[in-house]
Structure 1
Amino acid sequence: MDAIAARLIPADALGPGAKEAGVTRFLDGQLAGAWGAGDHLYRQGPFEAGTPEQGYQLSFTPAEMYRRGLAAFDEAVRKQAGKAFAELDAKAQDEWLTALQQGKPDLGPLPAAVFFQALLEGTMEGFFSDPLYGGNVDMVGWKLVGFPGAYASFSNDIERHGVVWQGQPVSIAQARAHHHAPGEGHAPPPGQAPAAQGGRHG
């Protein structure tokens, strides 16, 4: 999974990628819990191919899909390339992932394109979720897109228009540790005076 995540969101000049952000650890945690066991799915059948609008129609729980899919995908790669996916160079890995997205490798009862979409969605979720869930280490995903995180309030910034936010993101754990008071947001950017506050005048 590390090798796949590293190609779906690779490290580059803008910062760390999904592998460095701990996406595999995030997925391990999710797949080992209630979500991985399919507690959100109706699993009584019958299981038949549906329309795209009907969403997921397979009998596999997320944990089963990842376990079966990763094994079947690696087996398909080994049969054709003679080595595991993780042992291929980046160009070959991208070609295999493109083929997976197009539904070409035979993964048995698991449609390849469905499995690719699950891998992509899981990787993005792990990269951009709160670090509390095991991924987004050092909030690298949030820093990449400028997401502020779990600030309790932005009331100090409501009237601050046209100003680029320059603070550091705050995770749920950090917000709890700091015990932000109601109405207390982040500090203004350097050199920027706090916005005027309403209330009684002296």
Structure 2
Amino acid sequence: MGHDPARREFLRLLGVAVPAGMTLCACGGPGGSGVHAASPNAFLATEEMDFIRAAVARLIPADALGPGADQAGVPTFIDLQLAGPYGRAERWYMQGPWPSGVDSQGYQLRYTPAQVYRHAIAGIDAYCRKQYQQPFAKLGAGQQDAVLHALEDGKMDLGDLPSKTFFNLLWQNTQEGYLADPAYGGNRDFAGWKLIGFPGPRYNYVREIGQFGQPYQQPFVSLIGRAPTAALAHAGDVG
């Protein structure tokens, strides 16, 4: 994974469409899927966060083009999303039946995204302990890549959760976290936007409309300002 330039080149050339309406909420999911008591995270237990950090670091590694997904705050983005409405699938149709459909039919599982992550990470770490005597986060880069390829190819048994489904969800969320507005916890220091050349959502570009072919010199800006990391750090102080 870490040696395949195709993923980063895909990000650089195309970016991704980050779903509108993502709302952060530090609440656990239903059915005992909430944050573990000993975890400092919004949803993920400490060992689950260890997996996410290691996995996204292989999916988008640091290189000459910029920081990797871990350094860009993608694990925080995923943790916050799983703790909120997205993780609970509040805007999805989640009634049965749940047939084993084809890829073109979209998501067909009874599990919410938060439940998918919890179930999959436990299964992957169990597989790694059996195969390598260590959880995923403690494996070498080559072994981690082999595990991720097995997930991507649908060759790992995670019970009634297809491993390819989890890999696709993880890869999608990793891209979203790398390129979403830093207000959502990822894209730290505008790493993703610097990669693709997007300066951020300014209220207008009237002055620059006629300046064809000239570099855009204004600093990067988030929906919540030029220092979104600092704003997030103090979000709990608001009202």
TM normalised by structure 1 equals 0.83
Structure 1 Cα separation of the partners of residues 218 and 126 of structure 2: 46
1:143 corresponds to? 194
Aligned equivalent of 2:115, options 44, 64, 70 = 64
1:54 aligns with 2:108: no
Structure 2 Cα separation of the partners of residues 105 and 167 of structure 1: 47
SS at match of 1:172: coil
Aligned equivalent of 1:97, options 148, 154, 158 = 148
1:192 corresponds to? none
SS at match of 1:36: coil
2:173 corresponds to? 122
Q: CA deviation at 1:164?
A: 3.1
Q: CA deviation at 1:120?
A: 0.3
SS at match of 1:142: helix
1:11 corresponds to? 62
Aligned amino acid, residue 135 of structure 1: G
Structure 2 Cα separation of the partners of residues 136 and 41 of structure 1: 26
Aligned equivalent of 2:219, options 154, 168, 180 = 168
* Matched length: 176
1:22 corresponds to? 73
2:185 corresponds to? 134
Aligned amino acid, residue 142 of structure 2: K
2:93 corresponds to? 42
Q: Deviations over 1:64-89 (max 9, x none)?
A: 00110111111112111221111111
Q: RMSD in angstroms over aligned alpha carbons?
A: 1.5
Moved over 3 A (4+): none
> Any stretches of 5+ residues in structure 1 without a counterpart?
178-202
Aligned amino acid, residue 212 of structure 2: H
TM normalised by structure 2 equals 0.70
Aligned amino acid, residue 199 of structure 2: P
